[in-house]
Amino acid sequence: MTGIRLYNTRTRRKEAFAPLDPDNVRMYVCGPTVYDRAHLGNARPVVVFDVLFRLLRHVYGAEAVTYVRNFTDVDDKINARAREMQAAGDGRDLNAIIRTLTDETIGWYHADMDALGALRPTVEPRATEYIGQMVGMIEGLVAKGHAYAAEGHVLFDVRSYPEYGRLSGRSVDDMIAGARVEVAPYKRDPMDFVLWKPSAADEPGWDSPWGRGRPGWHIECSAMAHELLGPAFDIHGGGIDLQFPHHENEIAQSCCAHPEAGFANVWLHNEMVQVEGKKMSKSLGNFFTVRDLLDQGWPGEVIRFVMLQTHYRKPMDWTIQKGADAAQELRRWRTYCGESHGSAAPDEHFMELLADDLNTHGALTRLREMFRTRKETREVFRSSCTVLGLLSDELSGWFEQYKGMSDVPEPVRDLVALYMKKRQIAKENKDFEEADRIRDILVSAGIEIHDKKGAPPAWEYLEHFDPAKLECLK
């Protein structure tokens, strides 16, 4: 059995993964708040934990792994978006708008993540389906002295949990000094956080011992994780932006509600996404949703490949050049594999690299070595790629336009790809004379070029393609 090692954020070291029950491996990952399209940063944890899901299934068996990723469908951001829709002329009541909005957004999310080759989790709970469990957990916290009611709210008493801050490595006092926290007169301590809040008459709300209201964000994941995975489970994951306060608060309320358990044994956090070396921001014009990139012509498999090239604990940088290189490399791999499938086991060294804290960068390096040396069979190569979610039939649609390349000798394909890249660089450097020169030679040789703003270089070989006419490129 392949031994898995994972970096545990809580202990700040890499540890051998030992599930509580090898026949029932359990993982919870925080999902999206469903009011808008998923952006590139939202997609990274989906890809990261999809790879972990695939790895766990490979090692322990598909039926032995339960992966839960929630949908937050009750939240102030959702209410705000629904009010914007009302203001823009939607005449329905707020709750009807919210239901339509969340249903539609979940549909978008599924379509976009499917396009990236992500497997659907075992369970995808909606927060609104577990309100009763949330109320029950809050009642237990109040009874044990870890929470208190005040002015229609229920708040968690952070000082009642001495280990608060262990995940993020800061004391409560340091957090107060360095963080922006909501100061409210009904709070005993500035760091106390909301478990339950009152709802206005037109807002989503449920009856509770503290009046009609709705849950705070943090209690949602704790209640759903407990209901679906139990008081103790193996892995909890999400983006590094959730480490504090969300995951810190989950630990506090869950461990106080069920002190006999330990909540999650391993905490995994992926780093953030940049675009062309800069933080993704609408003000910089480099903010992309996954759908934006797909509509620009970037295949989902290419987006996934770019993400896999960076270790999950390092910031990932999306660039047009990386996308173009990834598309070229995937074309070569798919051409090499052809229709091969078979039931070959993945390469052993590849699996060792991947099992070492999800070292996807190292795993891809091994795949490149396998592709270059051809020492392993096509079936072994392809099955190894499949563990990363690559070269699947489901993601093959984009490759159809390049199938004409299969009859072109590989050195010729490499030459064309090289000069398509040089043309792209010339255009970026505003050397349009050189870019046009390369274009004209390629076209005269029988290559049709498809230029689309923001999309990777694309081309196809026409029936009259003559490689001899490429000689003047060299």
pLDDT digits (tens, 9 = 90+) for 359-377: 999 999 999 999 999 998 9
pLDDT digits (tens, 9 = 90+) for 399-428: 866 555 555 777 777 788 888 888 988 888
375 DSSP 8-state letter: -
Q: Alpha-carbon distance 37 to 104, whole Å? A: 10
Across the range 275-304, mean pLDDT stands at 87
Is the CB of residue 71 less than 8 Å from the CB of residue 125? yes
Q: Alpha-carbon distance 404 to 462, whole Å? A: 8
Q: Alpha-carbon distance 139 to 319, whole Å? A: 49
pLDDT digits (tens, 9 = 90+) for 114-163: 999 999 999 999 999 999 999 999 999 999 999 999 999 999 999 999 99
pLDDT band per the 50, 70, 90 thresholds, residue 103: very high
Three-class secondary structure of residue 207 per DSSP: coil
Nearest CA among 81, 36, 55 for reference residue 360 = 55
Burial 92-123 (b: 16+ CB within 10 A, else e): eebeebbeebbeebbebbeebbebbbbbebbe
pLDDT band per the 50, 70, 90 thresholds, residue 448: confident
Q: Which residue has the tokens 């060792």?
A: 352
Torsion sign (Cα): 159, 133, 29, 296? negative
| HSE value, Cβ hemisphere, 13 Å, CA-based, for 155 | 20
Three-class secondary structure of residue 460 per DSSP: strand
344 DSSP 8-state letter: P
Q: Which residue has the tokens 């106080």?
A: 256
As a whole number of angstroms, the longest Cα–Cα distance in the chain is 82
Q: Which amino acid is at 50?
A: D
> In residues, how long is the chain?
474
> Strand 263-270 relative to strand 232-239: parallel, antiparallel, unpaired?
parallel
Q: Give pLDDT, residue 61.
A: 97
